[in-house]
Chain A
Amino acid sequence: MINYIGRRLWQGLIVLLIVSFISFAIFEFIGDPVITMAGRYATAAQRAAVAHAMGLDQPFYVQYWHYLWNVLHGNFGMSYIARVPVLGLILERLPATLELTFVAEIFAVFFGVTLGLLVAAYPRSIISRISMTGSLFGVSLPTFIAGVLLIFVFAVQLPWLPPSGRGDVVHVIGYWDTGLLTVSGWKHLILPAVTLGLFQLALLMRLTQSGTVEALQADYVRTAWAKGLSPVKVLFKHTLRNVLIPVVTMVGLQFGQLVGFSIVTETIFQWPGAGNLLLQSIYNSDFPVVAAYITLIALLIVILNLIVDISYGFLNPRIRHG
């Protein structure tokens, strides 16, 4: 097990190195931050002075080496636009993104798995039929349209929920301000979390449903029914545990994608998360912010995948890590 984790960590490190290289290289080709940074009336000489002060006149490999060296020392550089340290800018935004993604994931997993089981167990019920049709919308409706529709219905037509923002937050520790402890925070969270989780919900539901249909025909489930166990026990104890393995894989893999999708959701709902910051920074060629964001998110995803791999062992004792 230790060996296995060590090997995965090593692989993760290589992935991070490659990701950081790509994110760094992309910027060689898009945009020139110096033009904005020097101001629009700057002369060529003044632009050169800015490039020099920022180290942008150095060859690519030197810049990349400096970047890596600084990152290893926890220094992600200064934003070209805000002219303040990048790490703080991202870290103060990350809790908002993670809270949104986390709540969206829970929403998706809870409803996805429950509905999937029900649909598989009772395929002819009305709820099942509605759910299966609805899941098609969930998979195919673009996040953008879903978000705008939800705002239209629940913020403008029925003024129940606020259309945008994050509401009141409570300071927890360090960079973490949470909206999960206030009523206004939850009110602001519902629409974006539903928007973000919708696709995942539909996907998990279909996955659980097909897995369950298969499992229900397995011998051990027939045995369980034959023993006269209650439907709850059969469905949740015997069936679900076996169905969950692909579901957990999917959740682990998709969590990273949720963080990615959250860029769109955050933009629609003006959710003050890191995705929102990323989009702004790309528009502004604020390269240090983008590079740091991509590196941090890659780190997060590497860690999540590791957790998923380890959790297999607990869900199914037959999986052994050699």
Chain B
Amino acid sequence: MRGMRTKPVRTGALCLGAAALLAVGVGSTTAMAQQADTLSVGVAVGPQTMNPQGADTDSNMSIMTNVFDSLVRRDNSGDLQPDLATSWKRIDANTWRFHLRKGVKYQNGNDFDWKDVKFTFERMKNPQVSEFLNFGALVTSVKPVDDDKWTIDITTKEPVPYFVQNLPQIFIMDKESTKSRSQGEVGLHPIGTGPYKMTKWVKGSSLSLDAYDGYWGKAPSIKHVKVLPITEDSTRMAAISTGQVDLLQGIPVKLAQAIEKNPNVTLVSRPGRRSIFLQLGNKEGTPTADVRVRKAIYLAIDEDAIIKNILHGHAKPASQIPDPPTIGYDKDIKRLSYNLEKAKKLLKEAGYADGFEITLTGPNDRYVEDKQIEATIATQLSRAGIKVRVDSIPKAVFFPKVAEHKVDFYLIGWFDGAYDFGRTYAKLLHCVDDKAGYGGTNGASFCNKDMDKQFAKANSIVDPDERAKALQKLNVMAAKQVAFIPLHYQEDDYAVSKKSKLDFTPRADTWLVFSQMSTGQ
């Protein structure tokens, strides 16, 4: 019973406690003696598996990317760089050619070759181990094209314009040791070609990485890394203020200000990739079928107030779903500014002068302050006469509801790991077609045939620049239709202890790539 009672008290009292923890910048005497080549990192969500392809969540890939290499990787600024492939080219709509790197050795001594690439792509299709089933299903063959077998062609069953953009998430595995070990072993003891070896993993406590001597690339300057998952916000803050960790990922917006005030710690922020927005349906006969009503909802939401009051300024207003580096982002799409009078006028024109009732569904444990945002939107919309019933539910219930298209109006967040708006569109806004795999996350069954045509047109274009333009046009069409209501981009906040002199650049994908960091001694 007592366990129950703690819940409601938590938020208020806890924040007080946490803020107090931070306000005092106590000298860190409990800190372990730090060596220049050692780094201790606190994360809000720890890694849960070391099974590549077994997790498409960044908290897992963030750590695995240090142990594994992919054919192509991204540097800190988000540009594609050679990794296990030295170069690549799209030779026709369905075929990609890769030149593989020679002389690469796995951490168990095995040599890397084309068979590992083939094996990895086949493994992606196995529902027992893979969370990349959709991407895996697109690949029809992986085979060498020359005698020495260091050049390979990967063929897809349909044109996949974002193919290479998605490769940084696909970690190449050693065929021999993956096949000879059990699935459990593979998920616990990773063997990759990357700059670090995983040496110890006490789940829920710490994961240790040590530099791998046989790494083919430049040896990292940080030799030993310890990753500590610390789930509880206030405890995580205590870890950075006592010097238990040098770098902390996942600063709650409520506590960012306290971090800024702490003299021993620097707050490092960057706009996050994930945008938060509202989706709604346009089924015949529902109020939101009328574009004027959708626009009225947009106009009645005071996003600036949400950012200021709920997110403490740690978010950027959004005008569209994709973030700037995503192909299809259009900088000319501007946010409609808050205008309650105009919203009321539009509702009147649409025949809803007295408003209407609608249910806003959204997760309460997924995005930054999601529940509070949902409640605030309901209040704001009530000023325009729209009665909103809020249904904030756990993500484990919310996402299945969306996948079953059982919601009318909902809050969701998105970013595309392959930086492609086309892929986002197919999943979120395309008319629902379960057979073809379109609209899987289109929970309110929004449907616009003209936009779908534009999407199909964009997908048939091979030239990347032309395709980008077609996707931008699609994005503009979606904005005109008010196919969704953009809210904001979340912000990624980190804290760095000044004593560590850590040279750290936060990445768009939020991955912690330790080989790109150094402690400036």
A residues contacting B by CB (< 8 A) are: 30-32, 35-47, 49-50, 52-54, 78, 81-85, 88-89, 92-93, 142-145, 148-149, 151-152, 155-157, 159-166, 169, 177, 199, 260-261, 263-264, 267-270, 272-273, 276-277, 279-280, 283-285
Contact = CB atoms under 8 A, between A and B. Distances in A.
A156 B241 contact: yes
B49 A151 contact: no
B14 A38 contact: no
Nearest to B188: A84
Nearest to B235: A164
Nearest to B133: A46
B199 to A, nearest CB: 15
Interface in B366-411: 394-397, 399-400, 403
Contact of B21 (A81, A84, A151): A151
Nearest to B427: A41
Contacts of A38: 127, 131, 133-134
A144 B14 contact: yes
Interface string B452-492: 00000000000000000000000000000000000000000
Given A83-B54, A145-B9, A41 B21 contact: no
Quick one: which of B13, B137, B229, B235 has the most chain A CB within 10 A? Answer: B235
Given A50-B133, A84-B183, A272 B6 contact: no
Interface stretch (B27-35, B114-122, B308-316, B328-336): B27-35
Contacts of B137: 46
Contacts of A44: 434-435, 437, 440
Contacts of A149: 17
Contact of A39 (B6, B48, B134, B239): B134
A31 B396 contact: yes
A285 B396 contact: yes
7 contacts: A32-B400, A37-B127, A39-B131, A156-B24, A157-B26, A165-B205, A270-B231
A155 B27 CA distance: 11
Contacts of A264: 3, 6
Interface in B46-69: 48-49, 51, 54-56
Contact of B48 (A82, A92, A93, A160): A82
B249 interface: no
B244 A164 contact: yes
A149 to B, nearest CB: 7
Contacts of A165: 205-206, 228, 244
Nearest to A53: B127
Contact of B400 (A31, A163, A276): A31
Quick one: which of B18, B27, B427, B440 has the most chain A CB within 10 A? Answer: B440
A148 B14 contact: yes
Nearest to A158: B26
B127 A143 contact: no
B134 A42 contact: yes
Contact of B187 (A45, A52, A82): A82
Interface in B1-42: 2-3, 5-6, 9-10, 13-14, 17-18, 20-21, 24, 26-30
B518 interface: no
B521 interface: no
A291 to B, nearest CB: 15
A52 B133 CA distance: 14
Given A39-B132, A83-B54, A155-B238, A263 B48 contact: no
Interface in B400-425: 400, 403, 423
A81 B49 contact: yes
A261 B396 contact: no
A163 B427 CA distance: 43
Interface residues of B, number: 71
Given A88-B184, A92-B203, A152-B17, 11 more contacts: A31-B400, A40-B441, A45-B435, A82-B49, A84-B51, A142-B9, A143-B6, A144-B13, A162-B242, A263-B3, A270-B228
A304 B131 CA distance: 41
A159 B427 contact: no
A157 B134 CA distance: 51
B204 A272 contact: yes
B483 to A, nearest CB: 19
A87 B187 CA distance: 14
B130 interface: yes
Given A31-B394, A260-B3, A144 B434 contact: no
A40 B394 contact: no
A82 to B, nearest CB: 4
Contacts of B203: 89, 92-93, 272, 277
A38 B400 CA distance: 12
A42 to B, nearest CB: 5
B235 A41 contact: no
Contact of B135 (A30, A41, A50, A169): A41
Contact of A84 (B13, B187, B242): B187
Contacts of A273: 204
A183 to B, nearest CB: 13
Nearest to B437: A43
A165 B30 CA distance: 13
B365 interface: yes
Contacts of A40: 56, 427, 441
Contacts of A50: 127, 133
A121 to B, nearest CB: 29
A41 B239 CA distance: 36
Contacts of A54: 127-128
B264 to A, nearest CB: 12
Contacts of B21: 148, 151-152, 156
Given A159-B30, A163-B238, A277-B204, A148 B130 contact: no
Quick one: which of A142, A149, A277, A285 has the most chain B CB within 10 A? Answer: A142
Contacts of A157: 24, 26
Q: Please give me the 6 A-B residue pairs with the lowest Cβ-Cβ distance, nearest first.
A: A31-B396, A43-B437, A272-B205, A272-B204, A163-B238, A39-B131
Given A142-B2, A143-B2, A159-B30, A268 B235 contact: yes
B146 interface: no
A79 to B, nearest CB: 8
B154 interface: no
A216 B9 CA distance: 40
B232 interface: yes
B49 A83 contact: yes
Interface string B148-192: 000000000000000000000000000000000001100110000
Nearest to A167: B205
B431 interface: no
A281 to B, nearest CB: 9
A32 B187 CA distance: 22
A81 B128 contact: no
A36 B234 CA distance: 28
A41 B9 CA distance: 38
A83 B132 CA distance: 14
Contacts of B18: 148
A161 B2 contact: no
B202 interface: yes
Contact of A261 (B2, B17, B26, B128): B2
B204 A270 contact: yes
Nearest to B18: A148
B30 A162 contact: yes
A166 B205 CA distance: 7
A36 B238 contact: no
Interface string B218-254: 0000000000111110110011011010000000000
